[in-house]
Amino acid sequence: MSELLPQLPDQFSPVAHRHHGRWVAANFIAGQWTDSESRTAVQSPLDGREWLEIPRATPAQIDEALAAALTAQPLIRDIPAVERIVLFERAADLLRRHEELFRALLLIEAGKPAREAAGELAATGERLRMTMQEVKKITGEYIPGDWARDTTGKIAIVIHEPVGSVAAISSFNYPLYIPAAKIIPALLAGNSVVAKPSSSVALTLLCFARLLEEAGFPPGALNVVTGSGEVGDRLVADERIDMISFTGSTDVGRRIAQTAGIKKLHLELGGKGAAIVLEDADLELAAAKCVEGSLKNAGQRCDAISVVLVMDAVAEPFVRRVRDALAARWRTGDPRLPETQIGPVINRHAAERVQQLIDDALSRGARLLAGGRHRDCYVEATLLDHVPPDARIALEETFGPVVTILRVKDDEEALRLAQRGRFGLDSCVFTANFYRMWKLAKRLQVGGVAINDLPRHGSGYFPFGGVRDSGIGYEGIGYSIEEMTRRKTIAFNLEPAGLGKPHRIDGS
């Protein structure tokens, strides 16, 4: 890995240093870069080599981070919103200046090919630049009291205030964008943050924290602690945390909800996105979009197309087009090569799990039309047709590069299969018939439906969020910042100044 990240730019020297051929990272607490008593070795999915050591934050360090966030709350809150925007504009410029570093980190930590890394960088930069649109949501509401008898002579205003301290806990699949999409609205709304990244991709977030430090955010406004799930458990349970923003598995999200206590929760959890392809769909378009939606980012997306439900009447021509689209472009391999579209999944365990899902489907009668094997962390781009409804891959979130096709006889069967489980994040419908589209879009119990396209959250300009086991809360430009605030009603009695409306039609 030394040849991929031979050194860090001078500005990032506090974040990590070289020691015996590995990088050794530090935590970021109260504006200081600090080591820990013990560390965890991190493997790269590129070849399984240990290339990085991250600190295991101790209980004392977690407590220090929480105390720093509490102290920093009035500091970040007292910075006028227009000046917070200036800080984020500086951060966007710094990110642009150091794009090569972040491309290298996304490659080493997450195995992202150049195209995927570029997309994540662009989305993060766009999110930083669109803070002006987000901050406009921190407004208020005027309520005249004379529309109700008991408030006549009074008025009220409803204002948005920061929630306080936010625990931002992120997953591995988008090491830069997901934590940034939590940290940006939290700080913009005037909150302080304690962030915990996935251990496998921690250095990317630590370097992003360094950008925000360089941009001028006050010490303690953002703290980053690394380590095992015990670190997250301590953050979730601590009373100094006012809100938890978590992206990850439904099982962990459920545990957070059970142990957090009375806190505001934003949970983006698992998904089982379905694509429904109707008889009148543009099959060329539908095939290309279903392949991209299934294979993009090696299938490691909560908004991935996880099952394709195609009408029997057009199944044969549709599957031929899917096979052609997959073969024409989607190659699995070393993400450093320009022709590679699909890099490794995050680790060997993840690859083995995807292989088990493929093997289970084949044992139940599914037909393998492409791929079907894995080596180390690399899973071949796989196409499964005639997948039976009882196969695990038809029910579970895949999180791997597999196009899973089930054939259905009508809309009702498609709807039934699309929402058998408890997931409800995204789905999509391919059709030229407005009325059928509307019927399906209304009946799908999900947070978002894409029409004639794959679901994609991108920079968050279009809002998104899950229902049922896919999460709590709504995310996106403007919507995220509302999640990071709470409302306060301030009522005024105008009668002492004679400004109310005391006259009544009965003369009383």
DSSP string, 62-80: HHHHHHHHHHHHHHHHTS-
Cα separation of 133 and 140, whole Å?
Answer: 15
DSSP states of 258-273: HHS-S-EEEEE----E
Bridge partners (DSSP) listed for residue 268? 247, 471
Homologous superfamily, domain 14-32+51-134+160-269+474-486: Aldehyde Dehydrogenase; Chain A, domain 1 (3.40.605.10)
Query: Over 275-332, what HEC string results?
Result: EEECCCCCHHHHHHHHHHHHHHHHHCCCCCEEEEEEEHHHHHHHHHHHHHHHHHHCCE
Q: Do 180 and 91 contact (CB within 8 A), yes or no? A: no
Kindly indicate whether the domain formed by 273-451 is annotated with CATH number 3.10.129.10: no
Query: Pseudo-torsion of CA 360, 362, 367, 370, nearest 10°?
Result: 80
Residue for token digits 């005027």?
Answer: 142
Q: Does residue 1 register a pLDDT over 70?
A: no
**pLDDT tens, residue by residue, 229-274:** 899 999 999 999 999 999 999 999 999 999 999 999 999 999 999 9
Spell out the domain ranges in the chain. 14-32+51-134+160-269+474-486, 273-451
Q: Which two tokens stand for residue 109?
A: 């930590």
Rounded to an integer, the average pLDDT of 172-197 is 97
**pLDDT tens, residue by residue, 214-234:** 999 999 999 999 998 899 999
Count of beta carbons in the 10 Å neighbourhood of residue 504: 9
Q: Is the pTM of this model over 0.75?
A: yes
pLDDT score at 181:
95
Cα separation of 99 and 297, whole Å?
Answer: 19
Rounded to an integer, the average pLDDT of 69-82 is 95
Q: Does residue 203 register a pLDDT over 80?
A: yes
Collapsing DSSP states into helix, strand and coil, what is residue 468?
A: helix
pLDDT score at 210:
98
Please, which residues have CB within 8 angstroms of residue 368's CB and are 6 or more apart in sequence? 358, 362, 382, 383, 384
Cα separation of 17 and 14, whole Å?
Answer: 8
Rounded to an integer, the average pLDDT of 187-201 is 97
Cα separation of 468 and 35, whole Å?
Answer: 40
User: Which of 427-436, 480-489, 495-504 is least confident?
Assistant: 495-504
Cα separation of 315 and 65, whole Å?
Answer: 55
Please, which residues have CB within 8 angstroms of residue 302's CB and are 6 or more apart in sequence? 173, 247, 268, 269, 270, 271, 425, 470
Cα separation of 267 and 464, whole Å?
Answer: 12
Which pLDDT band, with edges at 50, 70 and 90, does 495 fall under?
Answer: confident
Active site positions, annotated:
268, 302
pLDDT score at 505:
67
pLDDT score at 137:
79
- Between the two ends of the chain, the Cα-to-Cα distance in Å is 84
**pLDDT tens, residue by residue, 140-161:** 899 999 888 888 889 999 999 9
Cα separation of 236 and 265, whole Å?
Answer: 10
Which pLDDT band, with edges at 50, 70 and 90, does 136 fall under?
Answer: confident
Tell how strand 402-408 and strand 305-311 pair up.
parallel
Cα separation of 100 and 104, whole Å?
Answer: 6
Q: What's the mean per-residue pLDDT of the chain? A: 94
